[in-house]
């Protein structure tokens, strides 16, 4: 079943019954009277909430393990049990196209379960890499098209404790990136307006361009072999975050590897940049990531991780009582002062992270460099508050 709740009410408003287990639901981004569901019965359904019935449905070729509306609401997307991703027109759920999120060879070539779908839209970053745009080009046709991993070329005051993201001693940045998201696309002049991130149980994240449905990047480093772990974009689109079955949270930069850059401040980096420079590979492979431990559970698994939206972080910092009342956090951030000397990596949308683990514990991590920058900007009173009232502990409790 799917049960609809309203936060102030203790009981559910309506029960939507299905023939088998439901694995994914998603509200329509433009019409709050509709939602999407998918499950083991292989049916993708669009439900009308006011009418309490199915409005449209489509039969998928395999069990549906992830389902989302595209951000504009014009497309419904279903991730399947063996790595396929099917696209349907939201109106009538008519089949549009498909991609295959799996390797061409090796033990995972048969495909693994799709565990998450995330979208990035309206980014203004322009590509900066060499090589040409992905194969196929243009808008995907309505006839079936497939794209696998070789589909595209180029590619309150008072005593407090703040948990920082400082890495353990000894970690090294092997090949740091930043670029502030200036190269989402491998095409040198193409705007990367719409992207889709697919998480699968082969411990891979695959980034696709929604203009041609070809793969742009593949991200490695996490362990996701059986659970329903999902990667997400930061609000700015500059970073990707995901939990892992190893108990860590991993963060990748979405900049292309041939753009000089730095990592997110105060995170440990592991691995090295993959290929893709100069278009010598069919797409970018990224093993460069930053990570930190985010659980103390007996079964160390981080089941979810998400960046706090920048506006929420600004409001929370301003209302925390840690800063002088005269200090305007919003004005400070709007002036761009948060980016002086790279204090926050130029991106307050990555300043706070919320995680959940297998035991159900929710943790909030704050970026030390962003806090320090805010206290320094607040002047002597702010710096005194930092020295007197705040303990910074790099290890979460």
Question: Looking at residue 85, which CATH number applies to its domain?
Answer: 2.40.10.480
Tell whether 303 and 383 lie within a shared domain.
Answer: yes
In this prediction, what percent of the chain has a pLDDT beyond 90? 46
Q: Note the pLDDT tens digit of each residue in 244-286.
A: 999 999 999 886 453 333 444 444 334 333 333 333 334 566 6
Structural domain contains residue 319: yes
Tell whether 73 and 131 lie within a shared domain.
Answer: no
Contact call for residues 233 and 197 (beta carbons, < 8 A): yes
Tell whether 70 and 203 lie within a shared domain.
Answer: no
Contacts of 330 (CB under 8 A, 6+ apart): 314, 318
Tell whether 129 and 246 lie within a shared domain.
Answer: yes
Tell whether 335 and 386 lie within a shared domain.
Answer: yes
Contact call for residues 176 and 262 (beta carbons, < 8 A): yes
CA distances from 82 to 86, 208, 221, 225 (A): 12, 18, 21, 13
Cβ-based burial of 48 (10 A; exposed 0-12, middle 13-18, buried ≥19): middle
Tell whether 377 and 282 lie within a shared domain.
Answer: yes
Q: What is the mean pLDDT of residues 386-392?
A: 53
d(C-alpha 258, C-alpha 276), whole Å: 8
Residue with more model confidence, 383 or 196: 196
Q: Mean pLDDT for the chain?
A: 74
Rg of the chain in Å (alpha carbons): 22
Nearest to 84 by CA among 198, 179, 167, 181: 198
Does pLDDT of 150 surpass 60? no
- 155: DSSP letter: -
d(C-alpha 289, C-alpha 307), whole Å: 16
Tell whether 321 and 212 lie within a shared domain.
Answer: yes
Does pLDDT of 321 surpass 50? yes
Structural domain contains residue 8: yes
Tell whether 160 and 84 lie within a shared domain.
Answer: no
Q: Which domain holds residue 45?
A: 1-100
Structural domain contains residue 110: no
Tell me the H-state helices in 169-286: none
Tell whether 161 and 258 lie within a shared domain.
Answer: yes
Q: Note the pLDDT tens digit of each residue in 88-118.
A: 999 999 999 999 998 877 777 788 999 999 9
Beta-strand relationship, 289-293 and 268-270: antiparallel
Q: What is the mean pLDDT of residues 294-320?
A: 88
Tell whether 223 and 352 lie within a shared domain.
Answer: yes
Cβ-based burial of 397 (10 A; exposed 0-12, middle 13-18, buried ≥19): exposed
Q: From its phi and psi, is residue 266 left (phi > 0), alpha (psi between -120 and 50) or beta?
A: left
The pLDDT value recorded for residue 338 is: 52
Residue with more model confidence, 334 or 191: 334
Structural domain contains residue 355: yes
The pLDDT value recorded for residue 370 is: 77
Does pLDDT of 171 surpass 60? no
Structural domain contains residue 107: no
The pLDDT value recorded for residue 285 is: 67
Q: How many domains does the chain have?
A: 2
3-state SS class at 331: helix
Structural domain contains residue 325: yes
Q: Which residues sit opposite 120 in a β-bridge?
A: 195
d(C-alpha 292, C-alpha 243), whole Å: 10
Structural domain contains residue 114: no
Tell whether 255 and 394 lie within a shared domain.
Answer: yes
Tell whether 83 and 184 lie within a shared domain.
Answer: no
Backbone φ, ψ for residue 38 (5° rounding): -150, 155
Structural domain contains residue 203: yes
């Amino acid at each position: 079943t799917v049960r609809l709740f309203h936060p102030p009410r203790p009981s559910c408003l309506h029960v939507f019954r299905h023939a088998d287990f439901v694995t994914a639901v998603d509200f329509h981004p433009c019409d709050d009277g509709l939602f999407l569901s998918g499950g083991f019965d292989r049916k993708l359904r669009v439900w009308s909430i006011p009418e309490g019935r199915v409005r449209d449905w489509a039969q998928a070729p395999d069990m549906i393990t992830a389902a989302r509306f595209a951000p504009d609401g014009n497309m419904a997307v279903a991730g399947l049990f063996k790595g396929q991703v099917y696209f349907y027109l939201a109106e009538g759920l008519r089949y549009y196209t498909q991609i295959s999120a799996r390797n061409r060879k090796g033990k995972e070539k048969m495909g693994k379960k799709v565990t998450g779908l995330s979208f990035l839209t309206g980014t203004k970053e322009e590509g900066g890499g060499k090589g040409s745009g992905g194969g196929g080009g243009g808008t995907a046709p309505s006839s079936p098209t497939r794209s696998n991993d070789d589909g595209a070329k180029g590619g309150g005051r008072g005593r407090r404790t703040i948990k920082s993201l400082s890495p353990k001693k000894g970690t090294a940045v092997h090949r740091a990136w930043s670029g502030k998201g200036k190269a989402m696309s491998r095409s040198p002049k193409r705007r990367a307006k719409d992207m889709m991130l697919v998480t699968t149980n082969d411990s891979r994240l695959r980034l696709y361009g929604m203009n041609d449905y070809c793969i742009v990047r593949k991200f490695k480093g996490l362990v996701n072999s059986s659970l329903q772990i999902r990667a997400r974009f930061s609000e700015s689109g500059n970073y990707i975050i995901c939990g892992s079955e190893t108990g860590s949270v991993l963060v990748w930069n979405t900049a292309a590897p041939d753009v000089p850059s730095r990592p997110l401040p105060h995170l440990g980096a592991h691995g090295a940049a993959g290929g893709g420079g100069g278009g010598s590979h069919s797409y970018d492979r990224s093993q460069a990531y930053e990570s930190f431990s985010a659980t103390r559970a007996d079964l160390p698994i981080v089941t979810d991780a998400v960046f706090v939206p920048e506006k929420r972080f600004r409001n929370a910092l301003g209302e925390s009582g840690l800063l002088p009342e005269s200090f305007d956090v919003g004005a400070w951030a709007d002036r761009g002062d948060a980016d002086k000397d790279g204090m926050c990596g130029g991106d307050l949308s990555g300043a706070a992270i919320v995680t959940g683990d297998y035991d159900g514990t929710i943790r909030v991590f704050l970026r030390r460099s962003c806090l320090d920058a805010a206290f320094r900007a607040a002047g002597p009173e702010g710096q005194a508050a930092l020295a007197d009232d705040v303990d910074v502990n790099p290890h979460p409790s």
